[in-house]
Amino acid sequence: MANNAPPSSEQDQKGVSRLDLGAALGLVGAIVAIVIPISFVLLATYNPGGFFKFVGSLVEVTSLLVLAGAILLLLSLFIYRRSFAALRKVDDRFLLASILCIIGTIGFLLLVIAGAVAAGNSSSLVACTQGKPSQILSCLKSGQPLGAYTAIAGFEFVLVGIFGLILGLLSAGSRFHRGGYTAGGLLYGILLLAAIGPFISLLTPVPGIEYVVFVLPAVSIAAPAMVLIASRSLFEFA
């Protein structure tokens, strides 16, 4: 039976308000860093023409979008971590989630650096990739190896952070009796698994990867949306 009572302690209230803010930032960040760039790449791959061709302008705009989105996602994970840090003062289950989110935050910082490197070398990347997105990381390795290895390390750290986010949201669902938090945690789990395929495709071509790419935008929006719904439902009873 759901408990409709609002968060009672000060730490609970802080935790829920920060979950709400983290989810809002995550939703906007997902649209900017994932949904729009993937849409651009799919259009350039399957229906090229005009702006949507693998030329310098598209790569530069896409890199800038990923960079801006990564900053928003960094802030989102930082706020999520702040939420778990508040909640761990009243519930030890949030301790591990808070620690793992710190690692994920470092990962997003590394991805921001890698995105800045890619945006600054868009012309050389276009010439090297020759319209094949799977070659981006290899080309970055040959031209800017520090940027490439920064991206790889950042992605691995982000995976750890997302795992921490999953643990924290599942714990929040249990503590506040909100299915939205649990659903958000499960959707972030799907996002975690789905993100691995496209990243591997940057290292080597992966057959059928386009089907996974179609899943990423939907899940990246649905996960923070569920967290928002859960948090707002708690505010209604405050």
For the residues 106-113, what does the mean pLDDT come to? 88
Mean pLDDT on 18-30: 96
Report the phi/psi class of residue 48: left, alpha or beta, with left for phi > 0 and alpha for psi in -120 to 50.
beta
Bridge partners of 52, per DSSP, are 49
Residue 8 binned pLDDT confidence (cut-offs 50, 70, 90)? low
Domain spans in the chain, listed from the N-terminal domain onward: 10-236
* pTM of the complete model: 0.81
The predicted structure's pLDDT at residue 174: 94
Q: E strands, the chain, where?
A: none
Tell me the pLDDT band of 140, cut-offs 50, 70 and 90.
Answer: low
Q: What is the pLDDT of residues 162-177, one digit of tens each?
A: 999 999 999 999 999 9
pLDDT at position 85, please?
A: 95
- Smallest CA-to-CA distance from 89 within 33, 155, 12 is with 12
